[in-house]
Amino acid sequence: MLKHKKTIIALLIIPQYFLVKWLSHYPNFIETYYSNGLYPYISKMFRFMLGWIPFSFGDLVYGFAIIYIIRWVFKNFKRLRTDTKNWFIDVFSAASILYFAFHLFWGLNYYRLPLHKSLGLNSEYTTEQLVEVTKKLISKSNEIQFDIIKNDTLPIDIPYNKSDILNMVPLGYNSLKKEYPHLEYYPKSIKKSLFSLPLTYMGFSGYLNPLTNESQVDGLIPSYLFPTTASHEVAHQLGYAAENEANFIGCLAAINHDDIYFKYSGYTFALRFCLNEIYRRDESLFDSITKTVNRGILKNYQDMREFWDAYQNPAEPLFKKTYSSYLKANKQDKGMESYSYVVALFVNYFETKTL
């Protein structure tokens, strides 16, 4: 009887796959009935259940799962030859359950309506628009950097410890919800990853656990990156699965924060993406416009690059290629490059805003 049930569960992965692919063609339906319907209740339920725990419960789940899988494969390796059919039934029944849980608890958000449509923003922009918005961001970033340290050549070091920064993150969303009420964030569930060191070597600064709905931030990254990274992971938690959209919302949450260090992190975050896009389009223009950026800001960028360079290793490209394939499989056709498409959102949002 148990084997019969396992077979049914294993075979259910096939209709599940086609159901998800079919639903992916109806973003309005996903937006209305899942992302703004069922999902907020699922997310809040997990945050109420696990948010109060001071460490990442999901990381423990990952750890035990890895140990269990290795142990299971070691113990059942011979069955692959002697009991092939039931070996595959065991594997696919587990995969079927995980596939179902992933999409029910979070994954369907990959197929929701694109953010620029739900916010009424254009998705295209010209180089002239990009340059104008970049100049606005430079002016605002320079102003905040100088207000903090009274010297335009010194980098900013956020004076809070990282646990305090995580506790402060929801305040930015409290301000942002005045403009976008659907971005209300309560209760919080943001934690430092228990796997920060391997995460850093993999080249990632944070992640959302789709099975426990906990946001994890790499505890080793410079504090300057913490406000926007944590706010980015909260955006995932609120149902914005696409990386460019989570970058955009996380940046807005930091910018709308009352704390000046959060604002600095947010504005310089947006500026960095815009400068990178200018460099991609016109290197001479990039060289010219970068000269107007305070040297202290450029030093923060340099510190960030040096941090990641210190952890570069031969395996990092493999991890990023794997994650890029994962993104492509979930309707982000450009994979890791999809992070850069946040520039279109920044340009069309900030173009009409007074900073």
- Tell me the pLDDT tens digit for each residue of 232-275: 999 999 999 999 999 999 999 999 999 999 999 999 999 999 99
- Token pair in block for residue 26: 């109806």
Using CA of residue 19, residue 21, residue 22, residue 25, what is the dihedral sign?
positive
**Which of 126, 131, 150, 147 has its CA nearest to residue 290?**
131
Using CA of residue 335, residue 336, residue 339, residue 344, what is the dihedral sign?
negative
The average confidence (pLDDT) of the chain is 90
Contact partners, residue 194, CB within 8 Å, separation at least 6: 55, 56, 59, 60, 63
Residues in the chain: 355
pLDDT, position 20: 96
pLDDT, position 321: 60
In terms of C-beta density within 10 A (0-12 exposed, 13-18 middle, 19 or more buried), how is residue 310 classed? Answer: exposed
Max CA separation in the chain (angstroms):
74
In this structure, the number of other CB atoms found within 10 A of the CB of residue 329 comes to 10
In terms of C-beta density within 10 A (0-12 exposed, 13-18 middle, 19 or more buried), how is residue 299 classed? Answer: middle
Q: Are 171 and 308 in contact (CB under 8 A)?
A: no
Range 27-48 average pLDDT: 96
In this structure, the number of other CB atoms found within 10 A of the CB of residue 68 comes to 10
Distance of CA 21 to the CA centre of its chain: 23
pLDDT, position 4: 83
pLDDT, position 62: 93
**Which of 306, 33, 267, 245 has its CA nearest to residue 134?**
267
Q: Is the pLDDT of residue 330 over 80?
A: no
| From 12-16, 107-111, 180-184, 217-221, the region with the lowest mean pLDDT | 180-184
**Structural Rg of the chain based on CA atoms:** 22
